[in-house]
């Protein structure tokens, strides 16, 4: 199987997931369900590419299965976490109302399909390039695969532990918790989950892209670069902070805590 066919399979799988999600969104009347589908789309794309590689005897089998497993584990955990959180808050996410210029009922399904579902469906195969390429090419530098798996594991740790710490904070009564979560991983970075997400995709690039050679590495580095930009500057940390800065104590927290890359906090905690 060629790299082009693998990318097409990735696009097809992501498109199916987003099409189904659009139908669910129309039924529920909210676009935020796409957040659950994000991880599912990547897992589906990886499984489709991996299955194609196995059926055509392409790539290095152990690396192909490793890449599929890493993406499926990451995507499955993310979908489960967001789905559980969404079940407690049935309203629309303010981010999507701002993006669309109103609620789904106000702007219509056509606008939501273009600006959310089709866009995310097109982004998935771009971010998944190291996986699509890695499953069909042979491993050139196996130690780089191992380094990538370690970076992926560090990222999953930050993402999963950060999410768990935030959930524990939110479960406490408002009058019994500090105004800002500034302990644990949240003392080192204001967005440990986003930083972890970026590490996951840099790890997958190392294992799937760079480990296949310099050409594959350079051709697929756009994936982790794009994901890091989305998480830190576009739809992730930067957008959330526009709201968070209005909360009591957050400006002080921001002054002593790194926004993205972890580092020791300055000064003492408000809690």
Q: Which residue has the higher pLDDT, 257 or 87?
A: 257
pLDDT tens, position by position, 193-250: 999 999 999 999 999 999 999 999 999 999 999 999 988 887 777 777 777 787 888 8
pLDDT tens, position by position, 70-105: 999 999 999 998 888 776 666 777 778 777 888 787
Q: Which string of b and e fits 66-93 if b means at least 16 CB within 10 Å?
A: bbbebbbebbebbbebbeeebeeeeebb
Tell me which of 15-19, 101-105, 178-182, 223-227 is least confident: 101-105
Whole-structure pTM value: 0.88
Q: Which residue has the higher pLDDT, 31 or 133?
A: 133
Q: Is residue 121's pLDDT more than 80?
A: yes
**pLDDT for residue 57:** 86
Helix (H, G, I), strand (E, B) or coil at 11: helix
What percent of the chain shows pLDDT beyond 70?
Answer: 96
Alpha helix positions (H), 87-141: 94-100, 104-107, 109-112, 118-127, 129-134
At how many degrees (to 10) do helices 222-229 and 118-127 cross? 130
Determine how many CB atoms are found less than 10 A away from the CB of residue 143.
Answer: 9
Domain spans of the chain?
Answer: 1-138, 139-271
């Amino acid at each position: 199987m060629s790299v082009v066919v693998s990318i097409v399979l990735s696009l097809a799988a992501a498109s199916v997931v987003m099409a189904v999600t659009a139908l669910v969104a129309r039924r529920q009347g909210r676009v935020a369900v796409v957040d659950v589908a994000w991880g599912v789309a990547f897992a589906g794309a990886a499984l489709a590419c991996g299955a194609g590689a196995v059926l055509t005897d392409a790539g290095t089998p152990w690396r192909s299965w490793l890449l599929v497993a890493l993406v499926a584990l990451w995507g499955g955990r993310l979908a489960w976490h967001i789905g559980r959180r969404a079940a407690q808050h049935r309203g629309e996410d303010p981010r999507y109302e701002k993006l669309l210029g109103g609620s789904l009922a106000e702007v219509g399904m056509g606008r939501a399909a273009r600006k959310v579902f089709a866009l995310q469906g097109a982004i998935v195969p771009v971010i998944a390039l190291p996986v699509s390429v890695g499953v069909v090419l042979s491993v050139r530098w196996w130690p780089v695969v191992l380094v990538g798996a370690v970076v992926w594991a560090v990222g999953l740790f930050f993402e999963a532990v950060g999410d768990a710490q935030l959930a524990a904070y939110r479960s406490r009564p408002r009058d019994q918790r500090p105004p800002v979560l500034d302990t644990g991983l949240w003392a080192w970075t204001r967005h440990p989950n986003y930083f972890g997400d970026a590490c996951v995709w840099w790890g997958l690039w190392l294992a799937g892209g760079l480990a296949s050679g310099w050409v594959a590495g350079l051709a697929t580095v756009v994936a982790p670069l794009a994901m890091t930009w989305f998480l830190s500057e576009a739809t992730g940390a930067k957008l959330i902070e526009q709201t968070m800065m209005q909360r009591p104590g957050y400006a002080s927290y921001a002054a002593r805590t790194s926004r993205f890359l972890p580092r020791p906090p300055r000064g003492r905690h408000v809690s």
